[in-house]
Amino acid sequence: MGRSLADENVSSVTDPPFQARFHVMKFNRGTWEPTIYSILSPDFCAIMFNENIYWFTNWNKNIANRAEIEEKCINTKDTVITYNPFLMSMELDNVRIPNVHGRYKVVFTFEAFDENNERRPTSLCFEISGQSEKIN
């Protein structure tokens, strides 16, 4: 896909559990179209440091204040996640589709829910875009 240099902090202003989602979209004839690639984690805090899951291998392994986040997670109000600078390189293995070339973007969405499982009004969404090519 692409590479991005990330040197950011993320802070939370909510207390409840929250879900994390990402989905990959392809640019085709002037329009972003969904692909079959997506991940939904209904309880992000429960899995954010699982070393076998996408969130950790490509993102959360770079958290500088890991001990604090393991204790509080991001759903504790005013918690700040600090990332060490890192180069993000997204690779998909064993993809069996004929045409992987082109422009893609990954859309990340984080949403908080209250004790009644109602979505809170504040959420976080960001995108990373790049080019894709097949590597033999």
pLDDT at 6 over 50: no
Average pLDDT of 59-87? 88
DSSP 6: E
pLDDT tens digits, 13-37: 445 567 999 999 999 999 999 998 8
Average pLDDT, the chain: 81
Classify the phi-psi angles of 67: left when phi > 0, otherwise alpha if psi is within -120 to 50, otherwise beta.
alpha
Structure tokens at 38: 């997506």
CA distance linking residue 89 with residue 108, whole number of Å: 16
pLDDT band, very low/low/confident/very high, at 108 (cuts 50, 70, 90): very high
pLDDT attached to residue 51: 93
CATH number of 3-132: 2.70.220
pTM for the model stands at 0.71
Q: Are 18 and 74 in contact (CB under 8 A)?
A: yes
Average pLDDT for residues 43-70, to the nearest whole number?
A: 90
- Total residues found in the chain within this entry: 136
Instruction: Give the pLDDT score at 9.
Output: 52
Percent of the chain with pLDDT over 90: 35
